Structure 1
Amino acid sequence: MPSFNFQLPDFLLVAARVPIVAVGLPLGLGLLSGYPTAQVVRSDWYKKLRTPPGRPPRQVFPIVWPLLYISMGCASHLTVKALDNALSASVRSDCMLALSLYYTQLALNILWTPLFFGAKKTGIALIDSALMAATTFYMTKLVAPLSPQASYFLLPYCAWLSFATYLNGGIWWLNRRERASEKQE
Structure 2
Amino acid sequence: MTTYIPSLTLPASLFQHPAAAILLPVAAGTAVGFSTRPKENQNTYLALRQPPLRPPPQVFGPMWTLLYGLMGYAAYRAWNTGMGGFDAKKAQLALQGATLYTVQLGLNLVWMPLFFRFKRPIAATVDIVALTGTVGYLAYIWGQVDEVAGWCLAPYLAWLGFATYLSAGAGYLNNWDFNSKEVPKGTKGKDTKYVDEKP
TM bucket (normalised to shorter chain) is 0.7 to 0.9
Deviations 1:62-81 (A, max 9, x none): 11000001000000000111
Partner of 1:89: 88
RMSD: 2.3
Cα distance in 1, alignment partners of residues 62 and 128 from structure 2:
19
Distance 1:180 1:19, change over 3 A: closer
Alignment of 1:57-68 (within 5 A): 57-68=56-67
Alignment of 1:11-30 (within 5 A): 12-30=11-29
Distance 1:10 1:50, change over 3 A: closer
Alignment of 1:61-140 (within 5 A): 61-140=60-139
Would you say the 8 A contact 1:75–1:153 is kept in 2? yes
TM-score normalized with structure 1 length: 0.88
Would you say the 8 A contact 1:8–1:96 is kept in 2? no
Partner of 2:188: none
Cα distance in 2, alignment partners of residues 181 and 23 from structure 1:
39
Deviation at 1:8, TM superposition (A): 5.8
Cα distance in 2, alignment partners of residues 120 and 146 from structure 1:
39
Higher helix share: 1
Alignment of 1:138-177 (within 5 A): 138-176=137-175
More deviation, 81-90/137-146: 81-90
Cα distance in 2, alignment partners of residues 74 and 121 from structure 1:
31
Match of 1:57, as an amino acid? P
Would you say the 8 A contact 2:3–2:99 is kept in 1? no
Percent identity over the alignment? 32
Distance 1:9 1:167, change over 3 A: closer
Would you say the 8 A contact 1:37–1:117 is kept in 2? no
Structure 2: gaps of 5 or more residues: 182-199
**How many residue pairs get matched?**
180
